[in-house]
Chain A
């Protein structure tokens, strides 16, 4: 009746059949579908939350970075301390002790400095035809635009002659141009500042808000000496006074060294005694950036710890369910060992199952996190950015979680005694 099957010829030492192990793992997971889903849920939620929060954090970081860069790179802003009048210090709101000449000296004396431009600002009502608008009039020189990396969008900037010669020309910020001229091209037209007519020679490119939320485009620019003579009504005492000096440091130079040099120079020029504080304060925009970076790092660390905790909890869930699975399938393990499975075959089978469980949770979490990011972007209007490396790390870490927490149950399965396992009820 029965003829035996022909012998199997190949006796080659074999590796682990990964495809078959994969098939087996999938079958085992789908056999307990609901349980697998619930187990993967912990990792799913952790990964989804991390992907979404990283996307939001990254979006916000990019926005801040763009704002800071809009102010100009390698920029130092020198603020005058308060002037001292007869031993009375007038406080930060008082008159500035900086002068036009300070800017020139900084530019000339300090090698790290590319340009230094003094400026003074005051709010005026500006009028064009029957339109008027209250805005900041900023009196400065052409180097200001170099320091702030700001270019004209239409028309032109001041020429050095205009800056020095007191011609009545003005450049409008984008917001002012919109308010006064709406759709029309203002170049060549006339506006009045305090009854003085100025010719519009250019419009600045739009810069948007600075990090403190001020609209940088709500400004008009006039040559310093023009403003001093015809608008800002200089008295003798402060005829050469400026509010701040914008200093651009050469690319690659040490900002801190330039700052120190400026401080020392200003102490000397302002005749500050050795025991008195500096006469100027210097704001370095990269300091602001560093502060932002530091807070971003704090946020990242917080997120990472949230991720770690959720993956830990998820991983313990995986371990728990794998231990249950090993116990439930003790007889199956005994059988597999009896019919020729090596310990490493059983180990690989259960390890792969744990990794797939974690990986499915992680992959679904990535998708959900990305969807959540887009919803946040659409509904809340937050800038979000899903980073590819965050996705890869999330998937990789969930696989590692499965590997780590699956190892012990898998090892337990592999080291079962086949005889005992086969008798298990």
Chain B
């Protein structure tokens, strides 16, 4: 029997791995949003001097990692593992960045849930005494996601009201077993893949909401906690539609989210004036908001304890065209203030 588990889906980290530092690098549209002041770097344009958008995505992933290490004052050679991923086929942005960084690398794919997935696995490595410090990162780029999942950038089409806008950005956190951190990881609930039959690739919030509700319900059942035990229950990129559905589903399960006790990263990153429809999405969405907003508030003591849950829609253009439904997954990690 594993010792560090409670209930069916939840792990406990007895040593409480610290997040020593975090960094967020974003594109210009994100840089005009409400978190503008909190990002470590805002790109002047989406290509950022690279030959292709894929290379730009690699560059911002790498930049987020390097800035995170610099803030913690840790040399790259000392990092014992890099866990991360992105939305490109074969997670090439993370892999190419890992080639430059020369850190032992675990490539992850959890669609937009990657940031929470990397934090959970990183915490396991640190807590188990297998590696420290560990770098956890995720990123995405609007221009590469569009061409991969949808249409060429200059193609003239209309987006549906439920469609979301992929965040251009990357976030990285450095985890360690010791030292004073911004926050620490106390426990995590690993999500299972849930599919409620949504086929509309332009409504990913609806595809992911059942997985989000499932993971949260497991978390509350496993731990005996309620949403009131958290200053914020935070979802990655459910957007307007997915968040509304999540509230409804949780109420049915008996875990209604209190007023003001919930936020969605996809609804926090962009200015309301931007043409983003139902909100932001992509691995970079939760990764950048975590580092620009959530960790600073935990560090300052404004929030004592949050449940950070990134949500992923596990679709590919091929399976979508073949009529397959869109499975969702959501991973949650409990983050507590460092003080």
Query: Does chain A bind chain B?
Result: no
Residues of B within 8 A of A (CB): none
